[in-house]
Amino acid sequence: MTATGSDGIVVLGTEQQAAWGRRELPPVEKLPGAIWSVPVPIPDNPLRYTLSYLLPGDSGVVVVDPGWNDEETWSALLAGLEVAGFGLGDIVGLVATHVHPDHHGLSLRLREVTGAWVAMHPAEADNMPQRMGATSPEVRRKGMTQILRLSGASDEDIDELLSRGNPRSEPDFRMAEPDVFLSDGDLVPLPGRRIRTVWTPGHTPGHICLADEEAKVLLTGDHVLPRISPNIGLNPSAEGAPLADFLASLQKVADYDDHDALPAHEYRFRGLGVRAAELIAHHEERCRELVAVVGALGEPTMWQVASALTWSRPWAEIGRMRFAALGETAAHVQHLVGRGELSWAAGPPGGAPRVRVAG
């Protein structure tokens, strides 16, 4: 994710914003529609926390994005439930806006304890780590090595990246399989509430937002954040055009401009139309930068392109986030090839694919 800044939105979560600036967890808060915001920490991560949401209904509570599978996260979720006046026995369902471990990691433990159903979009279920054998460290390392080699990384770069990491911040890829599928327009099965699913692919293939049209709030997950641009990466194991999907999804949520935006990170805000337009402009600017970089380098690999682009920190300092940067670079290249501005170039036999300016 990259910081893009935003002057065109109204910050609603002022205490959340202040806590973000202090690098602290914000408070548990009751929001419009009797929704509760519960921050749960992400260990050793610059995002610091996920904003989990509690949706009370006639039959109990649905938890949206319980967070990372970690004891500190678990304790924070239990504390948030207590502040809101609920206990584990009140939880009837879990919704994952997407299956990244800072959102869906704790769902398996929570379901085992409560017996709650788990819901997500069908496209998200198709891309769960266990479907690709990614729960095995050996398989994950082999897959990451292959991606890095296809990107043009050197053996030294590969060894450096794969040797980094803190065991506590390594995600547990054993994730809860869904019991309920939520397609675009479906209602979350919570009696007494009308929470509608808004399918917003891009950040992941099955990412969803949740609209409470009566309370005029939209839970945006990672799709729209107030200050950060979510990572839009090309997944080698999945089909589709993530950047084109993301841009179309931004147009879709702009229709909820009269709703409060409840994101999964940072702080809640109003101004979805303005923020969506900012993100669209950000990615167009990124495309322009990328074409200029390719033109200057001739026929570079993905690694060479990514290392020459502007990131929130210098390339040499972003560590394992280079994986996300490579995925985002590839997604933009795919988008520009589709628009006819770039084309693939045949590199040396057995070498990494290269790209050049078309025409």
**How does pLDDT run across 145-200, given as a tens digit for each residue?**
888 888 999 988 888 888 765 555 566 677 899 999 999 999 999 999 999 999 99
**Across residues 38-50, what is the average pLDDT?**
92
End-to-end CA distance of the chain: 32
pLDDT-based confidence at 1, cuts 50/70/90? very low
The C-alpha atoms of residue 213 and residue 63 are separated, in whole angstroms, by 18
DSSP state of 256: G
| pLDDT(281) > 70 | yes
79 CB contacts (<8 Å, ≥6 apart)? 28
The C-alpha atoms of residue 9 and residue 15 are separated, in whole angstroms, by 16
The C-alpha atoms of residue 253 and residue 268 are separated, in whole angstroms, by 15
pLDDT value, residue 144: 82
**Across residues 79-85, what is the average pLDDT?**
98
Q: Is 294 left (phi over 0), alpha (psi -120 to 50) or beta?
A: alpha
Longest dimension (CA), the chain: 64
Of residues 115 and 352, the one with the higher pLDDT is: 115
Give the model confidence (pLDDT) of 310-348 as tens digits. 998 899 888 888 888 999 999 999 999 999 999 999 777
Domain ranges of the chain: 2-130+169-282
Task: List beta partners, residue 117.
Answer: 93
pLDDT value, residue 171: 62
Tokens of 190: 């919570």
pLDDT value, residue 337: 96
pLDDT value, residue 4: 46
Segment holding 35, helix H or strand E: strand 35-41
pLDDT exceeding 70 applies to what percent of the chain?
Answer: 92
User: How many C-beta atoms surround the C-beta of residue 256 within 10 A?
Assistant: 21
The C-alpha atoms of residue 25 and residue 49 are separated, in whole angstroms, by 7
Q: 2-130+169-282: which CATH number, 3.90.700.10, 3.40.50.2000, 3.60.15.10, 1.10.10.10?
A: 3.60.15.10
pLDDT value, residue 218: 98
The C-alpha atoms of residue 16 and residue 207 are separated, in whole angstroms, by 24
pLDDT value, residue 2: 44
DSSP state of 205: T
Closest CA to 356 of 333, 325, 326: 333
Give the model confidence (pLDDT) of 128-138 as tens digits. 876 665 556 67
pLDDT-based confidence at 292, cuts 50/70/90? very high
| 80 neighbors 66 (Cβ within 8 angstroms) | no
**Vertex 45, ends 205 and 314: CA angle to 5°?**
90
- Residue labelled with tokens 């479907």: 131
Q: Which of 28-42, 228-242, 244-258, 316-330 has the lowest mean pLDDT?
A: 228-242
pLDDT value, residue 46: 84
Task: List beta partners, residue 229.
Answer: 2
The C-alpha atoms of residue 314 and residue 142 are separated, in whole angstroms, by 27
Task: List beta partners, residue 218.
Answer: 211, 261
Of residues 147 and 85, the one with the higher pLDDT is: 85
pLDDT value, residue 5: 46
pLDDT exceeding 90 applies to what percent of the chain?
Answer: 74
**Across residues 202-230, what is the average pLDDT?**
96
**Across residues 73-81, what is the average pLDDT?**
98
| 52 neighbors 27 (Cβ within 8 angstroms) | no
Burial (CB < 10 A; 0-12, 13-18, 19+), residue 296, is exposed
pLDDT value, residue 327: 92
- Which pTM value belongs to this model? 0.92
pLDDT value, residue 124: 94
- Residue labelled with tokens 């609603």: 12
> What b-and-e string marks burial along 146-174, b requiring 16 or more CB atoms within 10 Å of the CB?
ebbebbbbeeeebeebeeeeeeeeebebe
Task: List beta partners, residue 260.
Answer: 217, 270
